[in-house]
Structures are given as C-alpha cells and as structure tokens.
Amino acid sequence: MVKAIPKVSIARNGLGSYIQPCYKITLQYCNWGGSSQGLRDLLTNGKLNQFALNNLQTIFEIKQQRGHPLLICNYNNNTQHEVEIKNLSDSEIIKKLDEYIQRSGNERFKYNHKVMSDNDSVRGIWSPLFEPKDHRHKI
C-alpha cells in the first residue's frame, strides 16, 4: 500500500561528532627564491613540527618547487584553496595556517539570511487562517 521514496540522509557535522574539514595542507617552497625565506625559516626552526603536533588530524606535505611559496589546503568537500604566502615571515605563515585549517572549504559569503536550517520551521508557515475571523479581508 505505502510506497517508499528513496532519500539520502543529510550530514550534520558537529552534531554527535565533529570531523575537521581540512584534511591535508601542502606547503610549497622554493629553495632559491627570496620570497620563500619565511617558509624556509619555518621548516628549519621547528615551529612547523610543533604546529603539526597540535593538529594531528591534518596531514602536512612539504613540496619543493620553484616560484613563489604556496599553501595548498585540501578540504573534504573536494575543494582546494591556494594561499599565496610570498614574502611572509614564519609567524605570519603560522597565522595563515591557523586560519585556513579551521575553514570549511566552502566559499565565503555574506550571511544575510535570518534563518538557515535543514529543519522545518517550528511555528510553521503563516496562513491567512491565523487571522481572527473579524479581521479577515472580505470580498
């Protein structure tokens, strides 16, 4: 009698468990260029090791390639963010890392909406029947 309509459940990250969306960061540096000086400092002075130990849930990959240095952040919604870090000092790069490791991977957008939810409204949709009978518009 009753037929079932196939549906897929909706993920609610943070409810029950939280999985950090940023799973991999590639640090790309140049061994020769001056713009990579900050990143080279970061790699040699052990600050990155400390940072990686505090963020065990993310893989840090180090890649040598000529050109300006880059941070390539991979998120679990199949997106990649490339961050330019040329001429930044090591502490500034740590700040960038800290910022991008916490992101969701979605594009940033201006939040203008009053409510954003997967759930239905608790009060329900307004209906003209809520208006008392005497106040209704009469034709």
Partner 1 sequence: MFKKINNVSTTRSKSYALKFSPIIIRQLHSSILLQQATTQKKSPKSFDTPKPNIKYDSITDYQSYKSNNIYSHRLPESTAQQSPPLIALHSRLNLPKNYSLSTLSQALNLIEEEEGEGLVNNYSLNKLGTTLLNYFINEFYMINYPRLPSEIHNMACKSLIGVESLSSIGKSWGIEIDEITKLDRFLGQENEFMKYGRLRFNNNKENKVKIDGLTEVVDSRGRFKQEDFAYAYAVRSIIGGLYTHCGEESVKQFINDHILSRKVKLDSMFEFKKPSVELINLCNKLNFKEPVTIKLIAETGRLSHQPQFLAGVFVGNEKIGEGIGSSLKEAQTRSCVNSLLSYYLYSPINENGDQVNLPSDDKRTSYKFESLIDGGDV
Distance CA 113, CA 91 (A): 36
Among 56, 115, 116, 122, binds partner 1 (CB under 8 A): 56
Rounded to whole angstroms, the Cα distance separating 77 from 106 reads: 8
Looking at residue 108, the DSSP 8-state letter turns out to be P
Q: Does residue number 132 form part of the binding site for partner 1 (CB under 8 A)?
A: no
127 scored as a contact of partner 1 (CB under 8 A): yes
Residues of span 2-31 touching partner 1 by CB under 8 A: 2-13, 15-17, 19-21, 23-24
Q: What gap in Å lies between CA 64 and CA 28, rounded to an integer?
A: 6
* Residue among 57 and 112 whose Cβ is closer to partner 1: 57
CB 40 within 8 A of CB 77: no
Which C-beta is closer to partner 1: that of 19 or that of 102?
19
Within 58-117, the residues that bind partner 1 by CB under 8 A are 58-60, 76, 78
Angle at 100 between CA 95 and CA 102, to 5 degrees: 105
Which residues sit at the interface with partner 1, rule CB under 8 A?
1-13, 15-17, 19-21, 23-24, 56-60, 76, 78, 118-119, 127-129, 131, 133, 136-137, 139
